[in-house]
Structure 1
Amino acid sequence: MKLPSPRGSLSERLIDILGGGAGDLRAEPDGEDDLQLSLFICYELAYRGWDGVADEWEWHPALLGLRAALEDRFAQRLGRPEPADPQTVPAALAAIVAADDGPSLSGYLRGRSTHEQFREFVMHRSVYHLREADPHTWAIPRLAGRAKAALIEIQIDEYGGGVTGRMHQELFKQTMTWFGLDLTYGAYVDRVPAATLAVNNLMSYFGMHRARRGAILGHLTAYEMTSSLPNRAYGNGLRRLGGDAKATAFYDEHVEADAVHEQIAAHDLCGTFAQAEPELAGQVLWGARCALAIDNLWATGVLDAWAEGRSSLRE
């Protein structure tokens, strides 16, 4: 991925240093865009990296210090986990999902969106879907027993059972192709707003830290428990706009797969994890709440932009 354009003084300094310049990484972000982009740049060093940036930067002490400072600022809005009864975690997750009253972006895309609006939606989601499942895979070596097996079962489906063309990351490219979009990994990072980057940064914030292993499991479970119906709506919305079977394959795949994953994630993954590590039961629920809250903020921004007759993307 090419280094993006800066969105403030901190991201400008960070990009310059990673590109070979000299300077001090101790600085404050100018605002939300600067914060989220700088954090996204730091995190990406642990995924596929940036073109022309040495791999050694991933573990550079100054870079890690900056990342920790940015994470602290990001975490201030997330609240804190509260203790929970490990025996009730699956039921509590279901209650969190049932109580979610976020905006229905999927309903809008199903019945009202224009071709260009759906195309924008795909551009937003490409930042995650072209690396789908990767942030949650960080948790595998941090688990044991039944919880580990359950996570692997879910992730095997996400990665297409070892068949490249069935990987969800690859299926999404078919949707992007139908819209005539650039399939390059991270091609639209420059176009998406801070809220889209925050959705992705939350996964990395949870997934990259062993101390938040409960939160990344809750995050994944919230996604699985709220995925089947919206993906049915996305598929139907795309068909309304003329999308063919290849274009809708990504969404159609999730309708069936995530209905199964929902039960595995809530009971076999989070339920058994909470019983094995009861002190982290509350963290599981916190991770689920954070996932829904950050996604709702993003969806609200997208729908507000469209209601005002403007693009939800950056120029």
Structure 2
Amino acid sequence: MRLPAARGPITAELFSRLAGPPGEIGPLPACPAGTSLDDDDLQLALFACYELHYQGFDEVDDRWEWEPSLLRARAVLERHVERALAQMVPRPAPVAPEHVRRALTALAVADEGPPVSQFLQRTAGLEQFREFVTHRSVYHLKEADPHTWAIPRLHGGPKAALVEIQADEYGGGRRERMHSELFRTTMRGLGLDDTYGAYLGRVPGVTLAISTAMSLFGLHRRLRGALVGHLAALEMTSSLPNRRYAAGLRRLGGGDAAARFFEEHVQADAVHEQVAANDLCGGFAAAFPSLTADILYGAACALTLERLWGEHVMDCWERDATSLAQPEPVDLVAGR
């Protein structure tokens, strides 16, 4: 993956430095007051910082990953995102550990995001479905990786539960069954580039926010409760939408191979829902009763970010406009 085009002064400065040898980076340009959670420049900058812990960028020296000055600059970006999340997502009240499953279910049931899955099932044209898959590629080509950061931070039953879920995500050790590989097949079936990160430069900040929140929770031990709640929310709200996605793709002429990714999630996530809510979150809550609010907050963040993304997509499609980003070139020197 190569660095995408910058989208503002923060990414212009960051990318110009990452393209050179590791060294003192200095402060990045400040986020303007009131910068929103879906700001393209902020989210792309933080995504790029986090990507150094995943597959990295072809032209970026791997030694940047642990460059202290870059970690300090990243921490500033993280504080902006954490504040924006806190303003957008009310923090749920703590509950007794034995009530965590019920509280997670209540959050999932109360969530009434925009009808993206219904639209894709019944109405969307092929180009809109391709846009949907383009958005999702940012996460699904690294599917499960952000939540895997939690494995060494858990022990006992919760750790075993997370490993059980992740083993399925990684295909039980068989490459062709890995969910990221199944998604590549879907992309190829739709005539899309299945290269990791191929569309990073085309997705808007609201799409990137979904991934940066996962990495934020995953890379900080203090947020491990939010990470397990985030995963539970994804699993608890996955089966029905994926059934609709599969039906929509078949309506548009997609075959078995292209639809397999979505159909795999219908059954797998129904099982994962029980494991995540009961064994993972329930077990974690029993071990760390003081972190039950963190679990529910992580779940609420996952649901809120998905709703914001869905609102953006549906608003664009209702106006017969593309939901993808069309960033203007930014001068890497002047930051304009």
Distance 1:90 1:82 in 2: 14
Aligned to 1:244: 255
Distance 2:146 2:92 in 1: 20
Structure 1 position 52, deviation (Å): 1.9
Q: How does 1:43-192 map to 2 (within 5 A)?
A: 43-79=50-86, 80=91, 82-192=93-203
* Consecutive unaligned residues in structure 1, runs of 5 or more: none
Aligned to 1:207: 218
Aligned to 2:27: 25
Identify the range of structure 1 (276-285 vs 52-61) with the bigger mean alpha-carbon deviation: 52-61
Structure 1 position 127, deviation (Å): 0.4
Distance 1:291 1:180 in 2: 29
* Secondary structure of residue in 2 paired with 1:25: coil
Structure 1 position 82, deviation (Å): 3.8
The structure 2 residue matched to 1:293, chosen from 304, 310, 321, is 304
Structure 1 position 67, deviation (Å): 1.0
Find out whether 1:6 has 2:13 as its counterpart: no
The structure 2 residue matched to 1:38, chosen from 34, 38, 45, is 45
Kept in 2: contact 1:96–1:289 (CA 8 A): yes
The TM-score, its normalising length taken from structure 2, stands at 0.92
Distance 2:229 2:69 in 1: 31
* Secondary structure of residue in 1 paired with 2:11: helix
Find out whether 1:196 has 2:207 as its counterpart: yes
Aligned to 1:265: 276
Identify the range of structure 1 (280-289 vs 75-84) with the bigger mean alpha-carbon deviation: 75-84
Aligned length: 315
* Secondary structure of residue in 1 paired with 2:200: coil
Distance 1:34 1:173 in 2: 27
Residue 164 of structure 1 aligns with an amino acid whose one-letter code is: R
Residue 59 of structure 1 aligns with an amino acid whose one-letter code is: W
Identity over aligned pairs, percent: 56
Residue 17 of structure 1 aligns with an amino acid whose one-letter code is: R
Residue 69 of structure 1 aligns with an amino acid whose one-letter code is: V
Distance 1:117 1:314 in 2: 14
Identify the range of structure 1 (69-78 vs 260-269) with the bigger mean alpha-carbon deviation: 69-78
* Secondary structure of residue in 2 paired with 1:187: coil
RMSD (Å) for aligned C-alpha atoms: 1.2
Kept in 1: contact 2:26–2:73 (CA 8 A): no
Residue 48 of structure 2 aligns with an amino acid whose one-letter code is: I
Kept in 1: contact 2:236–2:270 (CA 8 A): yes
Distance 1:125 1:76 in 2: 25
Distance 2:31 2:2 in 1: 21
Kept in 2: contact 1:8–1:29 (CA 8 A): no
Distance 2:43 2:271 in 1: 33
Residue 289 of structure 1 aligns with an amino acid whose one-letter code is: A
* Consecutive unaligned residues in structure 2, runs of 5 or more: 327-336
* Secondary structure of residue in 2 paired with 1:216: helix
Identify the range of structure 1 (81-90 vs 254-263) with the bigger mean alpha-carbon deviation: 81-90
